[in-house]
Every structure is written in structure tokens, then in C-alpha cells.
């Protein structure tokens, strides 16, 4: 882009190029036309700077992407072979369970570790009390229902979740 302006030593905008009264007068029309085009975008200088910064960040990310892998992921998605699990091995999940004595949902004191993920669900091992080799399988639908990523989410769910059907008749 040819610049129509520049900045002087004091930081003020000045005409670029032919710095004569006649040259400056001839460029006013060009400058006004460029300003009108810019103003019609509705963008402020701050918005343009933020946008350009984000574009730079995206370019950096794109430069690190293995395009062969990205192509394979795209093909797998098109073939309905791509499944992104909501948890990964090593994640810690907080469980809530129905306390039959207290007649309320409670949060387990210790989180459980995801040991394996599959297309239908995940396996967890308790981080306390049971040997690590005893895994239990849960479908992914239980995340957000009885398993949660944080203790805070589990506490909130325990406070608002309705009692289970089998406990509806209990006092």
C-alpha cells in the first residue's frame, strides 16, 4: 500500500512524498478518498491492531500444524470416523452419588482418575481405598450428570440434582 501520510519527528501526521504546497494540494483528494474508504469499514485503529495481532497468532499456529495430519483428521471427520472424547487419560473427575442415609446427593471426598477412554465411555480408578487395577466403566453421558471435571461443578450439581427415582418414596 502506498502511504499518503507519514509522521514527523514530533509524531504528527504529515503528507508523504512531495512536500510542496502544490504537491500537497494535489494529494488531498487521494488522502480524503483513502480516509473515506477506511471510515466506511467501521473499524477503529484499535480494532485493526487487535485484528492484526490475532491474525499473526493464527499464522503462527498454522505454521506449526502438520498438514498431513490435519488432512487425515478432516478425512476421518468426513467419513464419520472421528470421535473426540470429552475426557483424556489422566484426567481427574469428581463423582456425586446418592447417600441413602442422608437422602441427598453427596460429592465423593476423592476424585477418580481416568485410566482408559474408548468410543463408548471411559474407565476410572478410585485414587483411594481400592487397588488401582480395579477399573470401572462409565458411558460419556455420565459426564455432567454424575461425573464432573471440578469439585465445584460436582458440589453445584449435588445441590440441585433431583433425587433418583428409586429414592422418590423415601422420607
Predicted confidence (pLDDT) per residue in 26-77, tens digit: 677 788 888 888 888 899 989 999 999 999 999 998 888 888 888 998 999 9
Total domains in the chain come to: 2
**pLDDT classification of 171: cutoffs 50, 70, 90:** low
Query: Which residues span the domain enclosing 139?
Result: 92-167
* 96 & 158 share domain: yes
Q: Looking at the domain assignment, is residue 15 inside a domain?
A: yes
* 143 & 98 share domain: yes
* 60 & 102 share domain: no
Give pLDDT, residue 134. Answer: 59
* 108 & 151 share domain: yes
Q: Looking at the domain assignment, is residue 124 inside a domain?
A: yes
Give pLDDT, residue 20. Answer: 63
CB 114 within 8 A of CB 126: no
Q: Looking at the domain assignment, is residue 136 inside a domain?
A: yes
Mean of per-residue pLDDT scores for the chain: 84
* 98 & 32 share domain: no
Give pLDDT, residue 136. Answer: 82
Give pLDDT, residue 169. Answer: 59
Q: Looking at the domain assignment, is residue 85 inside a domain?
A: no
End-to-end CA distance of the chain: give it in Å, rounded. 77
Q: Looking at the domain assignment, is residue 33 inside a domain?
A: yes
Q: Looking at the domain assignment, is residue 69 inside a domain?
A: no
How many Å apart are CA 108 and CA 136, to the nearest integer? Answer: 15
CA dist 81 → 61, 72, 74, 76 (Å): 25, 10, 10, 5
* 100 & 50 share domain: no
Q: Looking at the domain assignment, is residue 84 inside a domain?
A: no
The helix/strand/coil state of 148 is: strand
Q: Looking at the domain assignment, is residue 100 inside a domain?
A: yes
Its pTM stands at 0.54
pLDDT digits (tens, 9 = 90+) for 139-167: 999 999 999 999 999 999 999 988 877 65
Amino acid at each position: 500500500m502506498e502511504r499518503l501520510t507519514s509522521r514527523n519527528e514530533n509524531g504528527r501526521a504529515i503528507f508523504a512524498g512531495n512536500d510542496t504546497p502544490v504537491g500537497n494540494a494535489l494529494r488531498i483528494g487521494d488522502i480524503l478518498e483513502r480516509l473515506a474508504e477506511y471510515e466506511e469499514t467501521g473499524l477503529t485503529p484499535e480494532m485493526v491492531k487487535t485484528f492484526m495481532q490475532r491474525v499473526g497468532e493464527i499464522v503462527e499456529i498454522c505454521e506449526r500444524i502438520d498438514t498431513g495430519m490435519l488432512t487425515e483428521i478432516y478425512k476421518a471427520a468426513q467419513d464419520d470416523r472421528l470421535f473426540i472424547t470429552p475426557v483424556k487419560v489422566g484426567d481427574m473427575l469428581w463423582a456425586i452419588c446418592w447417600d441413602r442415609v442422608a437422602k441427598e446427593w453427596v460429592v465423593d471426598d476423592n476424585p477418580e482418575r481416568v485410566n482408559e477412554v474408548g468410543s463408548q465411555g471411559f474407565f476410572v480408578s478410585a485414587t483411594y481405598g481400592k487397588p488401582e487395577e480395579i477399573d470401572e466403566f462409565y458411558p460419556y453421558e455420565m459426564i455432567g450428570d454424575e461425573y464432573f471435571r471440578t469439585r465445584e461443578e460436582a458440589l453445584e450439581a449435588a445441590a440441585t440434582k433431583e433425587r433418583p427415582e428409586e429414592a422418590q418414596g423415601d422420607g
